[in-house]
């Protein structure tokens, strides 16, 4: 066995440049696979985390008749006495934070410009607002009793050409089906680095939101973040009853999960293409080796080497190429993925409705992906040696000794 | 004891629609320890006959026996087994594996035969000595002269102690002194080990070493003489 690899190593050394480029092609194939896997996982994971933090939470408790798509403000569709319900939920040991929120649709106008917005009433003191607090690019967060202040997303502010301290005219739907309007002062501008969210969301204190929408002491939802995402199902099961509907992040973000499944299917096709190209390089290298060494194969056959052993020689060469390719691929792919993990790629506003993407996507490569892709590449390289190996083993000794037909 | 027996062997090659009769009913018997030359002009069937004796090819009709075992009907693997244990080859073009050293080239048949490391090493060193190349063990073929390469090939052919060594034009690519040295070694090994040598040649200097000369012409044995010729004449 050792001799087999020694011979294979020397055979590859006969044409060092060709062997190196074959291993390099394999390595580049693997690094591409790793990068693709990392970016896809990172993108989906990032989108999901962003959406959970900014929009869906791990769980939402809503009134039974509440329809998220309609952003209903009818009292029957809302949770009455939300503070009381929130306090009960917050007392659960798995719950990190629970806070009531009120959603209303409206229009923000400044001069000739007007933009459809989602007005979100929040409890300014809640820890759930951390992403917005951390993302303040100018001004300050409002106080709970602020009756005239709002926070604008940076993208929206840019659209309307507004800055902190400016005034913005808001028209908001009310529980009665009317439209309330008021001039608000922009207390601050936040950025969650998620253009899809920042371009349409306006925050105001919950009390003020309830007042302007005439939803007196009602909330659209109780937004809940858990200590561990994995506890979602058990907490949801515990909360399930006849009084409220409980929506988990998986239910709220079904679109992201479906997109992820679809993307996974697509990426398998891409994997296949990359692997097929890689395999072709190996096949080409080894077929050339078979033709160049036909006479030697005849000599081995004359010495009594059987077909399977001749095949093994070519498999050994392929194995060494694959190992070289793996090393190159892991280094190259590792560096590329590291860059994509920590620096990321700027994608700007993806503008996909229903999904929140950060303006940069970051890779997230799991060890499982590294191992499975490395093994797959390795196996494909070995399989690619099958044709040249069979070709060599089937050579008639007499023909081979003459140097082929 | 007969090492080689050939009964009414024919070999027809088909190239497209053209058939070439390389051998036309050859009968031949070679005893253990013989030093036999197959001679004849180019295209007379010498190499084809050697290939049949070496189980590298199969006859179109007739039978070939090696050590009394019929080999004409063996399958690929059985022929490979036969070659590995019984037959050694020496080729005109030396046929060493270029990536292996002299030592490793000689070792290869022993590896294929599954010999252990210690006896393998002992045998290779013994053979290197037998062909006067103990100091060239770790040279690769491209670092050896033509004569040295052919001596390595002889050592390799002898490695598994086969009963039959087949040599196809062993001196064709060598100058006179190297050719003589190679033939001297082959003669000596034939006498010392008793291994049977059959070689194809049309070099009169080589023919002169043979104790038996089988002449082929147009695929038929036309003369079979057992003249003893003094080596080196």
pLDDT at B227 over 60: no
| Position A46 confidence tier, pLDDT thresholds 50, 70, 90 | confident
Beta bridge partners of A40: none
Q: Cβ of A13 under 8 Å from any chain B Cβ? A: yes
The model's pLDDT over B124-153, given as tens digits with 9 standing for 90+, comes to 999 999 888 889 999 999 999 888 998 899
Residues 6 or more apart whose CB falls under 8 angstroms from that of A79 comprise: A61, A62, A63, A85, A100, A218, A219, A220, A221, A222, A244
Residue range B54-81: average pLDDT?
A: 89
Mean pLDDT of B86-107: 89
Checking if the pLDDT of B115 tops 90, the result is no
Q: List, in sequence order, the alpha helices (H) in chain B.
A: 46-53, 76-86, 102-112, 117-130, 146-158, 176-193, 204-207
pLDDT at B177: 85
Q: What is the pLDDT of residues A253-296, one digit of tens each?
A: 888 888 888 888 888 898 899 899 989 988 998 898 888 889 88
CB atoms within 10 A of CB A278: 26
pLDDT band at B233 (very low <50, low <70, confident <90, very high): very low
Is the model more confident about A10 or about A221?
A221
Instruction: Tell me phi and psi for residue B140, to 5 degrees.
Output: -85, 160
Residue A10 forms contact with B (CB below 8 Å): yes
Nearest to A69 by CA among A247, A239, A216, A226: A247
% of chain A with per-residue pLDDT over 90: 42
Q: Quick check: A304 and B109 CB within 8 A? A: yes
pLDDT of res. A273 = 92
Give how far the C-alpha of residue B154 lies from the chain's centroid of Cα atoms, to the nearest Å: 9
For testing contact with chain A, the best of B57, B90, B97 (most A CBs within 10 A): B97
Give the residue-averaged pLDDT of A153-161. 91
Helices A254-292 & A386-393 angle (0-180, nearest 10): 20
Residues of B in contact with A9 (CB under 8 A): none
- Where does the pLDDT of residue B231 fall: very low under 50, low under 70, confident under 90, or very high at 90 and above? very low
Question: Do residue B95 and residue A309 have CB atoms under 8 angstroms apart?
Answer: no
Query: What average pLDDT does chain A have?
Result: 88
Nearest to A302 among B77, B89, B93 (CB): B89
pLDDT at A110: 87
Measured between beta carbons, the chain A residues lying within 8 angstroms of B156 are 303
pLDDT band at A390 (very low <50, low <70, confident <90, very high): very high
Average pLDDT over residues B58-66: 91
Interchain pair B76, A300: CB under 8 A: no
pTM over 0.80: no
Strand, helix or coil at A206? helix
Q: Which of B15, B29, B153, B58 is nearest to B97 (CA)?
A: B153
C-alpha to C-alpha distance for A305 and B108, rounded to whole angstroms: 10
pLDDT at A137 over 70: yes
DSSP code of A53? Answer: I
β B18-31/B2-15 pair status: antiparallel
- Does A309 reach chain B within 8 Å, measured CB to CB? yes
- CB burial readout B90-110, b (16+ within 10 A) else e: bbbbbbbbebbbbbbbbbbbb
Partner-chain contact B98 A296, CB within 8 Å: yes
**Residue pointed to by tokens 């949770």:** A79
Whether the complex's predicted ipTM surpasses the cut of 0.90: no
In this prediction, residue A336 carries a pLDDT of 93
Q: How far is CA A60 from CA A81, A207, B191, in A?
A: 16, 20, 98
* More confident call, A200 vs B231: A200
Q: What is the mean pLDDT of residues A22-42?
A: 90
Contact B99 A306 (CB under 8 A): no
- Compute the mean pLDDT over every residue in chain B, rounded to the nearest whole number: 87
Tokens of A57: 């939470």
- pLDDT average, residue stretch B182-202: 88
Q: Which of A104, A100, A96, A98 is nearest to A72 (CA)?
A: A104
* Both tokens assigned to A181: 């309007």
- The 8-class DSSP code of residue B72 comes to T
- Average pLDDT on A117-127 reads 93
Q: What is the mean pLDDT of residues A52-68?
A: 89
pLDDT of residue A293: 87
The pLDDT assigned to A350 comes to 63
Give the pLDDT confidence score for residue A248 in this predicted structure.
92
Q: Reply yes or no on whether the pLDDT at A218 is more than 80.
A: yes
Q: Kindly tell me if the per-residue pLDDT of B232 is higher than 60.
A: no
Nearest to A305 among B80, B95, B96 (CB): B80
For residue A136, the cross-strand partners are A190
Range name among A9-18, A88-97, A388-397 with the lowest pLDDT average: A9-18
pLDDT confidence of B106, banded at 50, 70, 90? very high
A296 contacts on B by Cβ (under 8 Å):
97-98
* pLDDT (0 to 100) of residue B61: 92
């Amino acid at each position: 066995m050792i001799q087999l690899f020694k011979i294979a190593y020397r055979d590859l050394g006969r044409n060092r440049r060709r062997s190196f480029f074959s291993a390099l092609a394999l390595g580049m194939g693997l690094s591409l696979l790793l990068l693709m896997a990392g970016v896809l996982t990172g993108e989906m994971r990032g989108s999901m985390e962003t959406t959970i933090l900014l929009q869906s939470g791990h769980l939402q408790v809503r009134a039974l008749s509440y329809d998220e798509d309609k952003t209903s403000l009818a009292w029957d569709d809302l949770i009455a006495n939300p503070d009381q319900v929130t306090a009960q939920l917050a007392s659960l040991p798995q719950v990190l934070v629970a806070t009531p929120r009120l959603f209303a649709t409206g229009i923000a106008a400044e001069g000739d410009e007007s933009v459809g917005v989602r007005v979100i009433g929040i409890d300014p003191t809640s820890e759930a607002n951390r992403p917005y607090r951390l993302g303040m690019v100018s001004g300050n967060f409002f106080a709970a009793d602020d009756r005239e202040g709002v926070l604008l997303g940076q993208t929206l502010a840019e659209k309307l050409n507004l800055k902190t301290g400016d005034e913005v005219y808001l028209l908001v739907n009310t529980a009665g089906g009317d439209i309330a309007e008021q001039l608000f002062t922009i207390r601050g501008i936040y950025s969650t680095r998620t253009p899809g969210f920042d371009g349409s969301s306006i925050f105001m204190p919950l009390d003020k939101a309830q007042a302007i929408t005439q939803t007196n002491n009602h909330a659209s939802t109780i937004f809940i973040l858990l200590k561990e995402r994995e506890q979602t199902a058990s907490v949801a099961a515990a909360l399930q009853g006849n009084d409220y509907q409980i929506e988990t992040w998986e239910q709220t973000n079904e679109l992201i999960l479906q997109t992820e499944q679809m993307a996974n299917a697509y990426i398998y096709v891409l994997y296949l293409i990359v692997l097929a190209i890689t395999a072709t390089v190996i096949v080409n290298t080894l077929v050339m080796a078979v033709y160049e060494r036909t006479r030697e194969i005849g000599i081995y056959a004359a010495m009594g080497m059987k077909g399977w052993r001749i095949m093994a020689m070519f498999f050994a060469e392929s194995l060494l190429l694959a190992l070289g390719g793996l090393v190159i691929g892991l280094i190259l792919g590792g560096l590329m993925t590291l860059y994509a993990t920590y620096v990321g790629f700027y994608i700007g506003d993806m503008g996909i409705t229903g999904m929140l993407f950060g303006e940069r996507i970051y890779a997230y490569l799991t060890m499982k992906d590294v191992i499975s892709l490395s093994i797959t590449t390795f196996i494909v390289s070995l399989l690619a040696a099958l044709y040249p190996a069979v070709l060599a083993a089937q050579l008639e000794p007499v023909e081979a000794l003459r140097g082929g037909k | 004891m007969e090492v080689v027996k050939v009964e009414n062997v024919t070999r027809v090659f088909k190239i497209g629609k053209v058939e070439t009769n390389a051998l036309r009913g050859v009968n031949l018997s070679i005893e253990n320890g013989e030093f036999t030359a197959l001679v004849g002009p180019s295209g007379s069937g010498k190499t084809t006959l050697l290939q049949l004796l070496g189980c590298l090819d199969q006859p179109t009709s007739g039978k070939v026996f090696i050590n009394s075992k019929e080999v004409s009907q063996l399958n690929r693997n059985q022929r490979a087994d036969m070659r590995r244990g019984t037959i050694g080859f020496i080729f005109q073009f030396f046929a060493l594996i270029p990536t292996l050293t002299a030592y490793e080239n000689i070792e290869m048949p022993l590896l294929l035969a599954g010999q252990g490391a210690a006896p393998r090493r002992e045998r290779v060193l013994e053979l290197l000595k037998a062909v006067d190349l103990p100091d060239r063990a770790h040279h690769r073929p491209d670092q050896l002269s033509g004569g040295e390469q052919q001596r390595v090939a002889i050592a390799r052919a002898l490695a598994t102690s086969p009963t039959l060594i087949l040599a196809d034009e062993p001196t064709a690519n060598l100058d006179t002194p190297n050719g003589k040295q190679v033939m001297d070694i082959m003669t000596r090994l034939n006498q010392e080990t008793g291994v049977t040598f059959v070689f194809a040649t049309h070099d009169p200097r080589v023919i002169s070493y043979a104790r038996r000369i089988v002449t082929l012409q147009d695929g038929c044995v036309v003369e079979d003489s057992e003249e003893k010729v003094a080596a080196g004449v």
